[in-house]
Amino acid sequence: MFKKLRFKASVVLVQTLLVLPPIILITLFIMLWARGSLMTQLDTSRRYSLQTVGNSFDQVYERTLDLLNVPFLNRTILSILTTQYSDNPKDKIQKNADQQLVNTLLSDIVLFNEPNITSLTVFSEISGSVYYNWRYPTLNINIHNSDWDNLIDSQWYKSIAHVNEPVVSHAKENDFFIGGGIIISFSQRLWRLVADQHIGAIRVDMDLTTFQNSWRHIAENPSDVFLVLDQDHQLVFSSNSDFNDTFPPLSTIDISTLHEYRVNSYVAELSGFTFVYLTYVATTQSYLRFLYAPLLAVIASWIIYTVIFIFWSSRHVSLPIQKLKTAMIQGQEKDLTARCEPLQGEMGQLSEAFNDLIVRLNDMMDDVALAEQEKAQLTYEVLLSKFSPHFLYNTLNAIRFKAELTGAQESAGALKSLASMLQFSIKYTEVTISFQNELEQLEHYVNIMRIRYGDEIDIVYDIDAECFQYICLKFLIQPAVENCFIHSFADMPNKEHKQICVRVICLSDHIRVSVEDNGKGMTQKQIDELLSENLNQNTNMRSGIGVSNVKQRLFATFGDNCKYYIESEPGLYTRVTAVIPKIKAQERNGFSDEIIDGG
């Protein structure tokens, strides 16, 4: 009874450990994914809004820069700026009229079309005149600004006097007009390229307060803050008055220090202004609470379901498992008559599998006994297979001795060569042999072919003696020589000099083996067919091992360190060449270490 309770407790524990951790991990993953997804969506939405606002501001910024070219685009203004007035009354009257005309043109060309421009000032260095216009009638010339009376000596004019490119100031209070608010001034020295003459300067003031009406509604919540910083990180606009208490307008702000906010920012490409959206971390947490509530409810439901499932499954699983365990222990004690009673559900499949396993074990025991008998029979047959070639070899030697006694020396020599080749095939089964043994077996083969062809075909050997210390592929040369005898000189009975040349040349890091004849040659199509791996059934092209087999064995043995190819000219010659690495018998790795001696 105690063992059953302990077993049930272990089943409950195992199921708890198997089920609860994945549920908790999956739930945590869902919560983290949902949190990250929510934050990503919020950040993406706000970055898009900031980018839209920044691009819109850059468009106005770019149009304002273009206004610096107004004096050169209007010939009337350019003509007046380059006019030198005298002190006579007529010139003074004309100067006043020209000033009114320029002011009117500036209003019609610029202020009427650009609502974000608060004022425009043009200074003529030639006449010393100042031409200006402003948008709001409440704006007055800043009479307290001493620079106004003599702009050529003013700090503003000196800052642009030697710069040919547009100069954009940082955000500041308007220094030319009273009540101008926060502005950015765009200034440029006026220069006539044709006369190489500086004629004055132009300044356009862009009022940033005109953007505030649209910027004021960007923040989605009262606790959120929308900021605009100029290129020097000065605060230009804040949508939250409480934030202004800490950071007043035109104060410098480092947004990386605002740790209590979640920060999204966008830097406009042209103006360099930074548009920032600040969200209180506490506000972010409130977003997440709305998300976590349903997830926590899901977790609670999963836990309740898991507890019910564990107790139900432990009751319906523990008893069948106990029965199966008993039957398995009986089988473990080498009782092959053990069986488990039929069970229900998936445990029934396990009990059937166990019973089937016991039956198969009985069958396997019978199969093992039968296999031992077959093994003994195979061993006997292998001994017989070895006996037959040896019997043939001994028989050939007996015939050879008989031929020698009767004076048939040529036949005796052929039988001796055939016996040597048979002994070579029986005794040595290695993949590689020494060049000495390969050439000895080739000589035996040539002796046999002499029986058929006599001295009709000459065999020439050009062998580098250095090669005898290296290994080569077994039956590397003989198939090529065989093709020379059988095919190269076929249908050429009247050829006067038939010759086969076998060359083995040792080079710096490899050995070149070639077999060349002066027979009828081959076309490229015939060469491709001869080297094809699918030629094994074509007995009309070759006999014996065949060059395609040699090529396959060569690459299987030496890999990419070898070459095998055929060169031929129809009616002239055929040359079979093999290139193999130089490997000494005692140094070879991955090849047979057995050296085959002749004799």
Lowest mean pLDDT among 132-146, 151-165, 210-224, 518-532: 132-146
According to the model, what pLDDT value does residue 423 have? Answer: 62
Tokens of 326: 């008993």
Q: Position 82: which residue type?
A: T
According to the model, what pLDDT value does residue 544 have? Answer: 45
Segment 173-186 mean pLDDT: 76
- Please state whether the predicted TM-score (pTM) of the whole model is above 0.75: no
Q: When comparing pLDDT for 387 and 504, which is higher? A: 504
Q: When comparing pLDDT for 11 and 212, which is higher? A: 212
Name every residue whose Cβ is closer than 8 Å to that of residue 331 and which is 6 or more positions away in sequence: 338, 354, 358
With beta carbons less than 8 A apart as the criterion, state whether 320 and 328 touch. Answer: no
With beta carbons less than 8 A apart as the criterion, state whether 415 and 450 touch. Answer: no
With beta carbons less than 8 A apart as the criterion, state whether 531 and 548 touch. Answer: yes
Tokens of 49: 């809004």
According to the model, what pLDDT value does residue 538 have? Answer: 43
Distance CA 139, CA 133 (A): 10
In which residue are the tokens 């001795």 written?
A: 401
According to the model, what pLDDT value does residue 421 have? Answer: 64
Q: What region, left, alpha or beta, does residue 311 occupy, with left being phi > 0 and alpha being psi -120 to 50 degrees? A: alpha
According to the model, what pLDDT value does residue 510 have? Answer: 93
In which residue are the tokens 């599998």 written?
A: 353
> Is residue 511's pLDDT more than 90?
yes
According to the model, what pLDDT value does residue 578 have? Answer: 95
Among 566, 583, 584, CA closest to 575: 566
According to the model, what pLDDT value does residue 124 have? Answer: 87
Estimate to the nearest angstrom the gap between the alpha carbon of 55 and the chain centroid.
Answer: 36
| Among 9-23, 28-42, 168-182, 299-313, the range of highest mean pLDDT | 168-182
According to the model, what pLDDT value does residue 143 have? Answer: 47
Distance CA 241, CA 517 (A): 104
Name every residue whose Cβ is closer than 8 Å to that of residue 432 and which is 6 or more positions away in sequence: 471, 472, 473, 474, 557, 588, 591, 592
Residue 122, number of CB atoms within 10 A of its CB: 24
| Among 149-153, 427-431, 488-492, the range of highest mean pLDDT | 488-492
Q: Position 112: which residue type?
A: F
According to the model, what pLDDT value does residue 494 have? Answer: 73
| pLDDT, tens only, 70-82 | 888 888 888 888 8
| Among 159-163, 255-259, 429-433, the range of highest mean pLDDT | 255-259
Lowest mean pLDDT among 109-118, 364-373, 381-390: 381-390
Distance CA 416, CA 10 (A): 82
Confidence of residue 144 (pLDDT cuts 50, 70, 90): very low
DSSP label at 477? S
Residue 98, number of CB atoms within 10 A of its CB: 22
Distance CA 474, CA 435 (A): 9
Distance CA 168, CA 58 (A): 13
How many residues belong to the chain? 599
Lowest mean pLDDT among 312-321, 394-403, 453-462: 394-403
With beta carbons less than 8 A apart as the criterion, state whether 498 and 453 touch. Answer: no
In which residue are the tokens 């089988």 written?
A: 331
Strands 457-463 vs 498-506: parallel, antiparallel or unpaired: parallel
* Average pLDDT along the chain: 77
Lowest mean pLDDT among 84-88, 143-147, 221-225: 143-147
Confidence of residue 432 (pLDDT cuts 50, 70, 90): confident
Q: When comparing pLDDT for 538 and 344, which is higher? A: 344
Segment 131-151 mean pLDDT: 63
> Is residue 590's pLDDT more than 50?
no
| pLDDT, tens only, 358-367 | 778 777 877 7
How distant, in Å, are the alpha carbons of 64, 272, 519 from that of 453?
106, 98, 15
> Is residue 402's pLDDT more than 70?
no
Distance CA 235, CA 246 (A): 11
With beta carbons less than 8 A apart as the criterion, state whether 518 and 497 touch. Answer: yes
DSSP label at 594? P
Segment 491-513 mean pLDDT: 88
Among 463, 462, 461, 455, CA closest to 497: 455
Q: What region, left, alpha or beta, does residue 179 occupy, with left being phi > 0 and alpha being psi -120 to 50 degrees? A: left
Compute the 3-state secondary structure of the chain and give helix, strand, coil in percent, each to the nearest 5.
55, 20, 25
With beta carbons less than 8 A apart as the criterion, state whether 582 and 511 touch. Answer: yes
Residue 184, number of CB atoms within 10 A of its CB: 21
Angle ∠(451,456,458) on CA atoms, nearest 5: 100
Helical pair 345-405 and 409-427, crossing angle rounded to 10 deg: 160
According to the model, what pLDDT value does residue 397 have? Answer: 55
Supply the Cα-derived Rg of the chain in whole angstroms: 52
Residue 191, number of CB atoms within 10 A of its CB: 14
Tokens of 475: 């039956």
Distance CA 461, CA 471 (A): 18
Confidence of residue 6 (pLDDT cuts 50, 70, 90): low
Residue 273, number of CB atoms within 10 A of its CB: 24
With beta carbons less than 8 A apart as the criterion, state whether 585 and 471 touch. Answer: yes
> Is residue 501's pLDDT more than 60?
yes
For residue 43, with 0-12 CB atoms within 10 Å meaning exposed, 13-18 middle and 19 or more buried, which class applies?
middle
**What percent of the chain stands above pLDDT 70?**
69
Residue 214, number of CB atoms within 10 A of its CB: 11
> Is residue 513's pLDDT more than 90?
yes
